[in-house]
Chains A and B, each alone.
Chain A
Amino acid sequence: MTELSTLSRSIAGRTALITGCASGMGRATAKLFAAEGAHVAATDIHGEGVRETVAEIEAAGREAAAWTLDVGDAGAIRRVVDEAAARYGGLDILVNNAGISRGGPIDADEYEERWQETVNVLLTAHQRMIRAALPYLRQSDSPRIVNIASTEGLGATAMNSAYSAAKTGVIGLTRGLAVELGREGITVNCICPGPIRTAMTARIPEEHKQIYARRRTALRRYGDPEEVAHGTLHLCLPASSFITGVALPVDGGLTVRRA
């Protein structure tokens, strides 16, 4: 086999810091990365949820540790990143996954407040996590950054403009840093999940999920968090060394379907 392929498709032994691991795509990513042999530093604002994720990983005989982290808190970010790097002796992979959804029309009284919160958690936190992790990533031989954007960063749904703006910003941040950090061999990519069964979409009734998926996606179904996690894993492989600055839709064909 070694004669046929030279690049590694394994993240075994590498350290991945993943935010938003209490549920959904973050939890699925943490479990997949642990299953692939990575050391997972899992964080979430919901301490109990992230500890459950870690417990599941440990029960499977894999390695992970939990931190309670509000990514809206700049000081906490630096502390947790430093602790995680100290625990595992560095960082190879950063997955900025934590997110919130705060919709509402542009002329809503509470728009300003929602905008601030949305941009802070969905966009500002990404650059802060990256800035905090950068010194450690620079020490890695295959440094990888994956930001979770959204198909809402490629198109938009009405009355969701703050979210859409922040996700579009994540794509811009990804591209900017891909160019900026490229000379150091750090790849920066983002994933644009579409309709996925997560906490964010939990309140959409199953019947409505099916109507939406049948009308809008090529695959005619909602996706599962693990399907997004595999997209993220792909971008984190040592073998994905020449892929940078991309925004990869993992959306069942939502963005390509016209009718």
Chain B
Amino acid sequence: MSLPAEATVFAPSTSDRDQLAVLHPSTDLPALRRDGPLVIEQGKGIRVRDEQGREYIEGMAGLWCTALGYGVEELADAAAEQIRKLSFSHLFAGRSHEPAVALAEKLREMAPIANAKAFFGTSGSDANDTQVKLVWYCNNALGRPEKKKIISRRRGYHGVSLAAGSMTGLPTFHKSFDLPLPQFRHVTCPHHYRDAEPGETEAEFTARLAAELDELICAEGPETVAAFIAEPVLGAGGVVVPPEGYHPAIQEVLDEHDVLLIDDEVICGFGRLGTPFGAEAMDMKPDTVSVAKALSSAYLPISAVLVPDGMVDVIVEAGERWGVFGHGFTYTGHPVCAAVALRALELMEERNLFAHAARVGRYFQAGLRRFAGHPLVGEARGVGLIGACELVADKETRAAFPVHRGAGAYCQDRCLDHGLILRALGDTLAFCPPLIVTESDIDEILERFGRGLDETLAWVEAGGGAS
């Protein structure tokens, strides 16, 4: 990795300037004002450097997204080439361009649903908002305007825009924002460790959740429920892998009530679970799919909603009556983003990345499970190259630490001291390294985590954060 640019004496740090000019997303803002930001300046492979030149392993792939790692020349070239050729054109009102078409073809070939057409956006949030709008539009077109409610899971994460944020099942994203909107419902998170009744087996737990969903749909009236949205493995909600048989059981309920399954593959898509899509690993049979993040390996913002031909036909036919299909973004199918995403998908194929992720993912999971015996770890969980360790105050009773104690945040900071970026989701430490990670990289990640975890244990035992 090349080194940071020459520092300038008597110039404010980026951190100083940040405080004056930036409003940060998804951030504890008072803490930021107190502590200042960590300014990342460069990245290469799985490692990044901050403005002081300190190196870290990016154990979270940024925000679950930099699958191919940092500094991939081929992607820089793809962007530069497309910018020189056609920096912008759009897909509105009959326009088209090669990069968007080629990417849509590639997604049609890869998608976990048959005969998919792609509607492009720039983020997972807008993709999931688009999902809701398409479902509503289709149900209006099909003459069932009552069928609009969307069901998601508590602790599910689907984004922050108005519809996506409503589907997200985390209080932080609702409180004080007047969300969720009225058409949205939430059911129990499929987390056996946290949400099962005492003594309840995984099979019993799954059956209970399927029954809960069925009861909710019946109570609301199946004619009012349009879709159920799920991540194959819940990400920001704490890396929750549903029990085996969960998705088939849910699917049965959805089929019975003619409720669509929207598969949110924003985190799980493109190899994260060791399969091309999370749906394959988790035995899901989705109707529509949202992808983003690893779609371009986060080199440029791009997302896509994949919908089957049949659904598109409904929309097209409605156009005969309603005129223009009034949904789309300036940057829908942005040619530079599309060209880079296509190149990213090609590189994933050329490098056999999904098979690699499956192989090192097994190694990672085995390593992660070894922390299950640690006095602070209630559960070590995950699949493929996504995982988590949930810290608890009492392993026997599974009692969590009081929120104000900040045990997860403390552990996250100690890992940072040891050059490892992880993310504390409450007291759950999440891992999601770039898919290019090797077995020796994984050893290094887990070794650094182990040190941070032991320091956290010492801090807990000394009563840290307890006042």
Contact = CB atoms under 8 A, between A and B. Distances in A.
Nearest to B49: A105
A208 B7 contact: no
State the main secondary structure of chain B at its contact with A: loop
Contacts of B11: 201, 204, 208-209, 212
Contacts, number: 60
Contact of A204 (B3, B10, B16): B10
B37 interface: no
* Most chain A CB inside 10 Å of its own CB: which residue of B4, B12, B20, B52: B12
A114 to B, nearest CB: 9
B175 interface: no
Interface in A195-224: 195-196, 200-201, 203-204, 208-209, 211-212, 215-216, 222
A162 to B, nearest CB: 11
A159 B7 CA distance: 6
Nearest to A201: B10
Contacts of B6: 102-104, 159
B53 interface: yes
A204 B7 contact: no
A211 B20 CA distance: 8
A72 interface: no
A174 to B, nearest CB: 20
Nearest to B9: A157
B12 A163 contact: no
Given A157-B9, A194-B10, A208-B11, A105 B3 contact: yes
Nearest to B10: A195
Nearest to B21: A211
Given A104-B3, A105-B3, A200 B9 contact: yes
Interface residues of A, number: 28
Interface in B1-47: 3-4, 6-12, 16-17, 20
A159 B53 contact: yes
B424 to A, nearest CB: 27
Most buried by A among B10, B17, B20: B10
Given A158-B52, A208-B17, A101 B9 contact: yes
B7 A215 contact: no
B20 A160 contact: no
Contacts of A195: 10
Interface string A209-250: 101100110000010000000000000000000000000000
A107 B52 CA distance: 12
Contact of A212 (B4, B7, B12): B12
Contacts of B10: 157, 194-196, 201, 204, 209, 212, 222
A108 interface: yes
A212 B16 contact: yes
A152 interface: yes
Given A101-B9, A158-B53, A211 B4 contact: no
A158 B6 CA distance: 10
Given A105-B53, A211-B17, A215-B16, A158 B8 contact: no
Contacts of A157: 7, 9-10
Nearest to A157: B9
Contacts of A208: 11-12, 17
A203 B8 contact: yes
Contacts of A204: 8, 10-11
Nearest to A223: B10
A101 B8 CA distance: 9
Contacts of A107: 3, 53
Nearest to B51: A158
A158 B16 contact: no
A252 to B, nearest CB: 11
B7 A160 contact: yes
17 contacts: A104-B3, A104-B7, A105-B4, A152-B9, A157-B9, A158-B53, A159-B7, A160-B9, A194-B10, A195-B10, A201-B10, A208-B11, A208-B17, A211-B17, A211-B20, A212-B10, A222-B10
A-B pairs, top 10 by smallest CB distance, nearest first, are: A159-B7, A195-B10, A212-B12, A103-B6, A211-B12, A204-B11, A105-B53, A103-B7, A157-B9, A108-B3
Interface of B: 3-4, 6-12, 16-17, 20, 52-53
